């Protein structure tokens, strides 16, 4: 099956009719920012085929009946007329494994009432057309079961779908669950040919059982050695009953063990993790307590600084300079005061002539009239100013003399004494201030150090939460307690199982001896052909089980080799440590993947999310590609929404290269290789250098690329669902 074309009309955020993507062989990349419709595009593939979309957890279990009008573009409803019928349509064109082109078209209609109100017009409708010679002809069905059968037989098997179509990190974890040995074994069995051996074993067991029943009936009919036969038969039946009881107990204990081990596997951590989390929690509490105390002490120091410094005569700080300036001002004041006092004394003239001239000039100025030239001399006029010139220097008007200040001598003297006293404490303040400064920076440095420790412990916490897939440290500790209890339970169950297995082995050997004695007793009495049939089918059953186990071991070895080939291809050029993947067998025949270092140590618990995801991708690619008989990687396209969000830029490119070289066709929706567009607010553009490098990398592998971009037109508010429309652009 290969997808040729996808057409969308008013489907969710893809409003309008001009929404088309034409797919090619190789890697098809669809780039879009967050909220630009990548998930809706992924949902369109599932909806057209199965009438469902994925839920928030990425599971395909939300039917049209639950979504209803949510399938129809809100913009199309907003733009439509009242009473109009508006349809969401997804049309998928593909070619199946037999080379037949098929078109699947699913639609869902609503009727607009008013505003944004709309009512459903029933269920979704699917039409399927198959190309016959030169034209497409509709395929008719009588029931939904016939539709499902047609899709399974002519399009894709739903059981395979979950392993090649997935969303994000949760999707790949669901596609190949490496945390549980039983689930991983189920995936291997489903996607490989190993399940064929189970059919062989079942058929051989039935044949062996029927042959034994015939043989036992022949023995009972024989009259030879009747007494010994009855005794041996009774003993064998008793052993059979005890064996049956033990096998029932074993089945119960093994089931309980499976449940307990599944619980431990699902918790995704070991018992020792509890102590690691406890130690981290204790260190985190210590750091946060010390940081809170340091912040409190620093706040208290700052709040009390003014009071403390005042008590340390902070006002005296720098008073030596103030005192010097004050002394200069006092000296200036005293000089001017003395000068003013001299002016105010108005010294009398030494002779009568001078006295007369003095009085006469003042009389003219007072009357504003010059008696010499007998003409007016208004105040401030030129004539008035000429009269003033005759006055002695000390008799100039007050506005031309130094104004006499108020007498502040007493107050200044008092201030001088106070300033002198204060200045004496300046040294004491400087010492206290320096001590405060030292304490302040010491406390500030301590808080800075604790801040750094707090950031470090927070980063470590995030790593632990991601590493063990837990929501909080306390939750992890509680999980650790649960794991401890489950581990104690599994240890007890294993001991019981070992004891029962040992008892079963003893009883089986004893029964075999009794069977052999009974066979020997009737050596010439039973039909030799029936005896040979019994022996033959017994040996065949044992050989079939052995062959199946051997084939499964060879398959696992092959998968491990293929897994490491993919794993190395994804990680080697990234420069980071990646180790080697080892499939470790458990007591029940299941396998758990582990990452080992060069010393053979299991380092899986310490690996980051990106490394674990690359391991899961590698296992999935190996399972899909190693089976040449089924060839799922050649038969179906991989479709993934944001599969590499946890990878850095280099590893993303290497993962895409591996996807391109593993699958004949792949469709990947992703945000990477986009960058902010400086010419368009809140919009993106292609990272040309990055995409060219990706194209070049795939070209070296002979893998063609086909690129589309999801864009939102300028002027459209991406958060307003009533006007949101996403455009599909060919790059």
Q: Outline where 312-399 has alpha helix (H).
A: 319-345, 352-367, 382-388
Pairing type for strands 165-167 and 638-641 reads parallel
CA 528 from centroid of its chain's CA atoms = 70
User: From CA 431, how far away is CA 374, in angstroms rounded?
Assistant: 79
Which regions of the chain are under pLDDT 70? Answer: 56-58, 169-170, 173-175, 177-197, 223, 261-275, 303-359, 372-374, 392-433, 463-471, 476, 479, 586-590, 626-630, 645, 718
Collapsing DSSP to helix, strand or coil, 448 comes out as helix
Distances (CA, A) of 370 to 174, 244, 296: 120, 153, 85
The reported pLDDT for the residue numbered 501 is: 85
Pairing type for strands 638-641 and 665-670 reads parallel
The reported pLDDT for the residue numbered 337 is: 64
Q: Considering the chain, what is the average pLDDT of its residues?
A: 79
Angle 85-90-91 (CA atoms, 0-180°, nearest 5)? 120
- 595 contacts 571 by C-beta, under 8 angstroms: no
User: From CA 713, how far away is CA 601, in angstroms rounded?
Assistant: 54
The reported pLDDT for the residue numbered 85 is: 93
DSSP conformational letter for 357: H
The reported pLDDT for the residue numbered 191 is: 58
The reported pLDDT for the residue numbered 535 is: 78
DSSP conformational letter for 408: -
The reported pLDDT for the residue numbered 146 is: 92
On the CB side of 315, CA atoms within 13 Å amount to 8
Angle 306-309-314 (CA atoms, 0-180°, nearest 5)? 110
The reported pLDDT for the residue numbered 593 is: 83
User: From CA 559, how far away is CA 568, in angstroms rounded?
Assistant: 14
The reported pLDDT for the residue numbered 66 is: 86
User: From CA 202, how far away is CA 192, in angstroms rounded?
Assistant: 18
User: From CA 263, how far away is CA 258, in angstroms rounded?
Assistant: 8
H/E segment holding residue 255: helix 226-267
**Which of 195, 33, 14, 35 has the alpha carbon at shortest distance from 88?**
14
Burial of 728 (0-12, 13-18, 19+ CB in 10 A): buried
User: From CA 705, how far away is CA 687, in angstroms rounded?
Assistant: 15
User: From CA 457, how far away is CA 289, in angstroms rounded?
Assistant: 13
The reported pLDDT for the residue numbered 264 is: 64
Q: What share of the chain is helix, strand, coil (3-state, %, to 5)?
A: 60, 15, 25
**Which of 684, 686, 672 has the alpha carbon at shortest distance from 713?**
684
Collapsing DSSP to helix, strand or coil, 388 comes out as helix
**Which of 714, 639, 586 has the alpha carbon at shortest distance from 261?**
586
**pTM metric for this prediction:** 0.59
Percent of the chain at pLDDT > 90 equals 17
- Which long-range CB contacts under 8 A does 372-376 form with residues at least 24 apart? none
Q: What is the pLDDT of residues 471-523, one digit of tens each?
A: 677 776 776 777 777 778 878 888 888 888 888 888 888 888 888 887 777 77
Residue bearing tokens 């590609």? 625
The reported pLDDT for the residue numbered 728 is: 92
Pairing type for strands 165-167 and 369-370 reads unpaired
- Take residue 59 and report the two structure tokens written for it: 């599971």
The reported pLDDT for the residue numbered 41 is: 93
User: From CA 239, how far away is CA 514, in angstroms rounded?
Assistant: 10
Residue bearing tokens 């000068």? 339
Q: Outline where 63-194 has alpha helix (H).
A: 64-67, 74-79, 144-154, 158-164, 168-175, 181-191
Burial of 262 (0-12, 13-18, 19+ CB in 10 A): middle
Question: For residue 11, which phi and psi values (nearest 5 degrees)?
Answer: -95, 110
The reported pLDDT for the residue numbered 105 is: 96
């Amino acid at each position: 099956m290969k997808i040729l074309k996808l057409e969308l009309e008013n489907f969710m955020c893809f409003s309008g009719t001009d929404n088309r993507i034409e797919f090619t062989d190789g890697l098809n990349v669809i780039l879009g920012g967050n909220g630009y419709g990548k998930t809706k595009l992924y949902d369109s593939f599932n909806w057209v085929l199965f009438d469902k979309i994925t839920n928030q957890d990425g599971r395909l279990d939300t039917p049209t009946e639950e979504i209803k009008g949510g399938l129809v573009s809100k913009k199309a409803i907003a733009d439509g007329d009242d009473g109009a019928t508006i349809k969401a349509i997804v049309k998928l064109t593909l070619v199946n494994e037999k080379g037949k082109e098929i078109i699947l078209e699913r639609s869902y209609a609503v009727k607009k009432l008013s505003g944004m109100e709309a009512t459903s017009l029933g269920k979704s409708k699917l039409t399927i057309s198959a190309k016959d010679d030169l034209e497409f002809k509709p395929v008719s069905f009588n029931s939904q079961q016939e539709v499902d059968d047609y899709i399974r037989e002519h399009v894709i098997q739903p059981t395979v779908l979950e392993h090649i179509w997935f969303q994000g990190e949760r999707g790949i974890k669901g596609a190949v669950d490496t945390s549980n040995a039983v689930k991983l074994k189920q995936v291997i069995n489903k996607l490989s040919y190993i399940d064929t051996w189970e059919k062989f074993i079942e058929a051989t067991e039935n044949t062996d059982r029927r042959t034994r029943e015939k043989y036992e009936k022949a023995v009972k009919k024989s009259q030879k050695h009747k007494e010994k036969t009855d005794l041996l038969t009774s003993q064998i039946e008793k052993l059979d009953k005890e064996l049956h009881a033990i096998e029932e107990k074993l089945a119960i204990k093994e089931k309980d063990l499976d449940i307990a081990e599944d619980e431990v596997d699902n918790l995704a951590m070991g018992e020792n993790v509890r102590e690691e989390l406890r130690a981290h929690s204790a260190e985190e509490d210590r750091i946060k307590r010390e940081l809170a105390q340091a912040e409190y002490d620093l706040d208290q120091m700052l709040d009390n600084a003014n009071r403390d410094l005042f008590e340390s005569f902070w006002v005296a700080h720098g008073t030596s300079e103030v005192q010097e300036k004050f002394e200069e001002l006092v000296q200036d004041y005293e000089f001017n005061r003395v000068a003013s006092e001299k002016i105010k004394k108005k010294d009398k003239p030494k002779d009568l002539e001078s006295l007369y001239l003095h009085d006469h000039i003042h009389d003219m100025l007072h009357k504003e009239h010059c008696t010499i030239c007998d003409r007016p001399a208004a105040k401030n006029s030129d004539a008035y100013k000429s009269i003033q010139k005759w006055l002695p220097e000390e008799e100039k008007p007050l506005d031309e003399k130094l104004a006499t200040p108020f007498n502040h001598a007493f107050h200044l003297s008092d201030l001088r004494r106070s300033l002198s006293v204060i200045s004496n404490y300046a040294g004491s303040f400087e010492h206290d201030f320096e001590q405060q400064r030292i304490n302040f920076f010491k406390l500030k440095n301590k808080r800075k150090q604790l801040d750094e420790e707090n950031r470090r412990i927070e980063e470590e916490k995030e790593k632990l939460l991601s590493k063990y897939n837990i929501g909080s440290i306390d939750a992890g500790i509680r999980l650790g307690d649960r794991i401890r209890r489950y581990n104690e339970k599994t240890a007890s169950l294993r001991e019981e199982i070992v004891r029962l297995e040992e008892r079963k082995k003893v009883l089986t050997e004893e029964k075999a001896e009794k069977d052999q004695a009974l066979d020997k007793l009737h050596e010439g009495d039973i039909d030799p052909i029936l005896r040979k049939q019994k022996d033959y089918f017994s040996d065949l059953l044992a050989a079939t089980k052995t062959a199946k186990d051997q084939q499964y071991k060879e398959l696992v070895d092959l998968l491990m080799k293929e897994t490491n080939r993919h794993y190395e291809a994804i990680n080697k050029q990234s420069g980071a440590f990646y180790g080697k993947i080892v499939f470790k067998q458990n007591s029940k025949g299941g396998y758990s993947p582990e990452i080992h270092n060069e010393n053979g140590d299991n380092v899986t618990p310490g690996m980051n999310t990106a490394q674990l995801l690359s391991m899961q991708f590698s296992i999935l690619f190996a399972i899909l590609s190693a089976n040449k008989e089924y060839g799922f990687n050649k038969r179906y396209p991989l479709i993934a929404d944001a599969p590499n969000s946890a990878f850095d830029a280099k590893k993303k490119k290497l993962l895409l290269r591996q996807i391109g070289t593993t699958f004949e066709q792949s469709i990947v929706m992703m945000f990477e290789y986009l960058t902010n567009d400086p010419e368009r607010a809140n919009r993106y553009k292609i990272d040309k250098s990055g995409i060219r490098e990706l194209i070049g990398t795939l070209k070296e592998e002979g893998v063609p690329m086909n690129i589309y971009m999801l864009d939102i037109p300028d002027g459209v508010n991406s958060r307003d669902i009533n006007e949101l429309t996403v455009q599909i652009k060919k790059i």
